[in-house]
Chains A and B, each alone.
Chain A
Amino acid sequence: MTNLLYGLIAGILFGFLLQRAHVIRYDKQLGALLLKDMTIVKFMFTAILVGAVGIYLLSGLGLLVISGRPLILGGIILGGSLFGIGWSMLGYCPGTSWAALGEGRLDALIGIVGMFTGAALYAEVYPFFERTVLTWGNYGNITIPDALGINPWFIIVPIIILVSLVFRWFEKIGL
């Protein structure tokens, strides 16, 4: 029950930030895909880098244990491509569509109905994918530091530098 309450609070705060940064808007999402406006990229990668620093610091302090997420090439390549196509048509993501609905976007509501349909369809055909695509290139729960056999900070620091340089370039050319 407490866990559910934490979910609600985290969602409210996240939804508030998403709305205030305007990253939930169709125009911003398609702006990124049409290479006109990188607002959502700035938002996402700043969140990832701050999150990675925090999570790896906490893990260094022994406060939590990190394990990677499953890497199944078949699922990620086919599923990721399908998402890219669907995303370009809808212009909202599964999470952000809820905040877009919250600020009155009716096409986001239609998208949410579509996403429920997609979830129901996937549940129906899952056994087929489980036997096929989801067995292709299964590398288990692998992280980049695991794969390279190096300390995670040798990954985090260079990514921060690289992403900062890309951000500086975005600002310079007005993206």
Chain B
Amino acid sequence: MHSDMNKALNPYIAGALSGLLIILSVLISGNYFGSATAFVQLVGILEKTISPERMAQIKYFIIVEPVLSWQILFVFGILIGGFLAALMYRDFRWQLIPTLWKSNLGSSKLNRGLFAFIGGTIAMFGVRLAGGCPSGQMSSSILLSVSGFLAMTIFFIVGIVAARLVYNGGVK
């Protein structure tokens, strides 16, 4: 029973349902999925609270207005949805070092933490420059934008090469 509950939903079905969800979201509220802008807006809101004078001088916050937005609620929703599903299917587990990492790269918490932090910093800087993260580029691809397909291709090609380097050429 327990192992049955933890079985993953078929990725094609989950993908198709997510596609329908995007269509509904666009139809009902006009919003395509995307997550990276939420990070900028949340940082902007924080800077606005700490030092409004300084925040006002940062040009990027004029382009991406730091206000409570659809996208901020969307990423909080993802957190809640993930948590609810994990609870309902008894999948919730605190974990710092993923299995694949541990069996290949060891159990140093510091190493995993540093890679996660630096990786997150570089990844977010990159998606801001590229104009969208994978969920945003999914929306861009749905619109058949050249940019969406090109960005996805580059994400995967560079990611595949870089992952080889992280894993010293392959998985044990």
Binding site for B on A (CB under 8 A): 2-27, 30-36, 39-40, 42-52, 54-56, 58, 63-64, 66-72, 75-108, 110-124, 126-127, 129-130, 133-134, 139, 141-145, 147, 152, 155-156, 167
Contacts and interface: CB of A to CB of B under 8 A. Distances in A.
Contacts of A35: 160
Contacts of A121: 121, 125
Nearest to A64: B26
Size class of the B contact interface (CB-based, 8 Å):
35 or more
B23 A55 contact: yes
B123 A43 contact: no
A8 B155 contact: no
Contacts of A16: 81-82, 84-85
Contacts of A155: 144
B1 interface: no
Interface string B20-35: 1111111111110111
A71 B128 contact: no
Contacts of B142: 48, 51-52, 55
Contact of B14 (A2, A43, A80, A130): A43
Contact of B75 (A98, A129, A141): A98
A36 B171 contact: yes
B127 A47 contact: no
26 contacts: A4-B70, A7-B70, A10-B33, A15-B81, A15-B85, A19-B86, A20-B14, A46-B16, A46-B19, A52-B141, A55-B143, A64-B26, A69-B132, A69-B139, A69-B140, A72-B131, A79-B127, A83-B123, A86-B125, A87-B123, A89-B118, A91-B101, A103-B86, A107-B112, A108-B116, A167-B12
